[in-house]
Amino acid sequence: MAQAFSGKPDARDLDKHRPQLLKYAMLQLRNAAQAEDAVQETLIAALRGIDGFAGGSSVRTWLIGILKHKIVDSIRKSSREQSLDQYESSPEDMDALFAPDGHYADRPADWGNPEENLSRRRFFAAFEMCMESLPKTTAQAFAMREVMGMETPEICTTLRITSSNCWVLLYRARMRLRECLERNWIGAGGR
């Protein structure tokens, strides 16, 4: 866990966080050039606003807060530049997960103690791999909601989708992540 920083950070203090910031940005944006741009803009904004850093949080927490805004800006920009593919997956893909009576076709595996699993590094590696396997817009909607804590209207505005489409994307993300984690974490003996 990062400790609070006493004093004002300098450029070297900020740059040492680049690898973690880049990893976070890649998970959200899924494009190396966009992720690097967002991190670079974050570091520039941090240098410009360094006098505003009060030191009440860790430098990394402060930088991630800036990065979240840069990621949202990047997503908004790319959504203006290209139309979103609203047919990333078909409803038939989800139908295979359910029996005709609406229950799961295969009962979800026992995930054990979720809090214990969350603390394991291998879980996050499996989770990251599963996130990368999601269609881009689906992953972005999920990350905005569950990782960045954004509300549905803000996600819809950023991705230029309807609230109905947002909820479908979130549902599909959860189902696919569940399936992927069961296959690559639970079923692979990850816990």
Mean pLDDT, residues 21-36: 88
Looking at the structure of the chain, the number of domains it has is: 2
User: What CATH number is associated with residue 123?
Assistant: 1.10.10.10
Q: Are 75 and 158 in contact (CB under 8 A)?
A: yes
Instruction: Report how far residue 67's alpha carbon sits from residue 17's, in angstroms, rounded to the nearest whole number.
Output: 12
CA distances from 22 to 4, 32, 147, 164, 183 (A): 21, 9, 15, 31, 27
Residues 51 and 112 in one domain: no
Instruction: Report how far residue 88's alpha carbon sits from residue 81's, in angstroms, rounded to the nearest whole number.
Output: 18
pTM for this prediction:
0.54
* Sequence-ordered strand ranges (E) for the chain: none
- The pLDDT of residue 173: 94
Tell me which residue range forms the domain holding 23.
Answer: 11-81
Residue where a domain stops, chosen among 81, 103, 126: 81
Q: Is the pLDDT of residue 167 over 90?
A: yes
Q: Is the pLDDT of residue 171 over 90?
A: yes
Instruction: Report how far residue 158's alpha carbon sits from residue 76's, in angstroms, rounded to the nearest whole number.
Output: 5
In a domain, 137, yes or no: yes
Instruction: Report how far residue 123's alpha carbon sits from residue 97's, in angstroms, rounded to the nearest whole number.
Output: 23
